[in-house]
Chains A and B, each alone.
Chain A
């Protein structure tokens, strides 16, 4: 008994269902494509973003530090220039007491111009606090420039008189003031550097956070997708298995169906053969006997009647012969009357008589108690192979060998005919034989090549007698 159909998914057979499933497969493919593409894009996006952000941060950091060092340098130039100027101006003012060579007034004017230039060249970026300090420094410088312009034009006496006073009241406070301012600027710059570094750190942190998010998202999406894919693959696998099982089942059903067909055919043949042989054949046989009697009852002088009777007899004989031939072809009674080997020998001689091929039969240990199906299968197989050899392959000699082993019987039919390519030229007859042999759990092999004759070998497991055969 086969498993009922309810525990399996219905096999998709109708064309409507087919196109529907095709449509669905296309959708699933598109979805998969999209999801994987999206995941990939996510990963690429995250990577690119991280790379760009890092590069940007690096640039900004470089800028910040280069700006800071430029400022520090400018500032120190100013400070140094201020000190040099202060020193030179002091020496100029006190040249009489020091008795040292005095710097040229134009040098001093140049120096202050230098300070102005340095101040003007200060790399400022409109930072208000710094701007304010720079403006203050500018003003101080302007004041100084104005006062120095006067001081430089002093005559030596005026200079001697007022030098101390100028230094104490103007130059020193100015210098202190300007140095203070530069100190303040330096502090402001330092603070700014710290601020910018902090901003950088913050940006870095936010980038890090974003990256973590992206990676987490990609990870979750990846896991989700592999789960979905895994589920889908399992489902496909299950469907495939179910389909395969359904296929195997239907094949089995087909096999049993064809087996039943073969059985029915054999049974039908047997019954028609018996009917013909027993009823028609025997009646005709009896008729022949009666006609023979009739000959004796009619006086030999009655030539007309005698001729008539002879004619009736010959017609009846022809009928008996054809009936017998048909019955033999349908179901050889030898199988039932004599057993397998004599039936094969009978067949061999029958073919030898009818054709140009001589058939030899050899057997070893073949039991007379073989199952009916096995006997019939072997008989029909030999019949088919010999007929092929005699009619299609124009063989001159054929040999049938039947060997019985402990658990199987091997039958081999070899001929010296034209041969054929077993892969290509498989007549329906041979296919039918294969079917029969397989149904009994046996195997059939055909070895042949064009011009090399043919060997058909069948191996059948032993099915011992199913019921004693005692048919007439």
Chain B
């Protein structure tokens, strides 16, 4: 069986060491390289072509967000798991915008890293449960205080289905095939969803899905 090839990017040697230890314990995972900063991570991703890059969001020279953007734009087949200390929406959204598929809190790296790597290697998203909880809490609190309606309740069952599939990373065409619909219909549903939820772009859509626990 082909092992999942992993590139570790973190400016702290201690953390890299810990992560490597975790990864090497898995039979189907292997660390192919370690980068000390964002620039190095971009260069190594280009030359090593790993399956997954596990990257710290804040690094010197080129921060994780910028590095992830460059990597995913140049090599769409590489999946990025962002490591962060922050469970705040701003960071999650920024990571999503940079093309990262997974968002992992450093606190829970030890227990969730393996799951995250497997998920993103499989083309799925992964978010630390703590992140989903914070996002949901913020959302609920805001709704409660403003007295507004949960926009999710406005969605039709079909729209919810499409929201989930898109958030999981499927293209319009994939969704159309799965649901036996025309691409045009999917397109229409999708824009309705975006409008009802007041979302701008896929990253916000994914964030919403994570918040509502539609994906993890």
Contacts and interface: CB of A to CB of B under 8 A. Distances in A.
B17 A286 contact: yes
Interface in B56-104: 56-63, 65, 85-86, 88-91, 93-94
Interface string A344-356: 0110011011000
A472 B14 contact: no
A320 interface: yes
Contacts of B88: 334, 346, 349-350
B110 A334 contact: no
Contacts of A343: 90
Contact of B107 (A283, A320, A353): A320
A305 to B, nearest CB: 18
Given A317-B107, A472-B58, A282 B90 contact: no
Contact of B63 (A317, A345, A472): A472
A471 B58 contact: yes
B145 A290 contact: no
Contacts of B59: 472
A278 B58 CA distance: 10
Contacts of B12: 278, 282, 285-286
Contact of B138 (A291, A333, A349): A349
Majority secondary structure of chain A interface residues (helix, strand, loop or mixed):
helix
A286 B90 contact: no
A371 interface: no
A288 B107 contact: yes
Contact of B91 (A289, A291, A293, A338): A338
A282 B14 contact: yes
Nearest to A277: B85
A303 to B, nearest CB: 20
B197 interface: no
B21 A293 contact: yes
A354 to B, nearest CB: 11
Contact of B89 (A345, A358, A471): A345
A153 interface: no
B109 A289 contact: yes
B161 interface: no
A470 interface: yes
Given A289-B21, A293-B21, A345-B89, A282 B15 contact: yes
Nearest to A344: B90
Interface in B34-60: 38, 56-60
Interface string B4-27: 000000011011011101100000
A455 to B, nearest CB: 20
A202 B29 CA distance: 137
B211 to A, nearest CB: 12
Nearest to A320: B107
B110 A349 contact: no
A324 B106 CA distance: 12
A300 to B, nearest CB: 15
A123 interface: no
Contacts, number: 103
Interface string A292-309: 110000000000000000
B62 A470 contact: yes
Interface string B158-198: 00000000000000000000000000000000000000000
Contacts of A283: 14
A342 interface: yes
B142 interface: yes
A297 to B, nearest CB: 11
Contacts of B2: none
B141 interface: yes
Given A289-B21, A293-B21, A337 B57 contact: yes
A210 B57 CA distance: 103
A317 B130 CA distance: 14
Contact of B110 (A281, A293, A324, A352): A293
B18 A470 contact: no
Given A342-B93, A471-B60, A358 B15 contact: no
A342 B90 contact: yes
Contacts of B156: none
Contacts of B93: 342
27 contacts: A278-B11, A282-B12, A282-B14, A285-B18, A285-B106, A286-B14, A286-B15, A289-B19, A289-B22, A292-B22, A292-B111, A317-B107, A337-B58, A337-B65, A343-B90, A345-B90, A346-B86, A346-B88, A346-B90, A349-B88, A349-B90, A352-B141, A352-B145, A353-B138, A470-B62, A472-B59, A472-B63
Interface of B: 11-12, 14-15, 17-19, 21-22, 38, 56-63, 65, 85-86, 88-91, 93-94, 106-107, 109-111, 137-138, 141-142, 145-146
Which 4 pairs from chain A and chain B are nearest by CB?
Answer: A292-B110, A289-B18, A286-B14, A342-B90
Given A317-B107, A353-B137, 9 more contacts: A285-B106, A289-B21, A289-B110, A293-B21, A320-B107, A349-B90, A352-B145, A358-B142, A358-B146
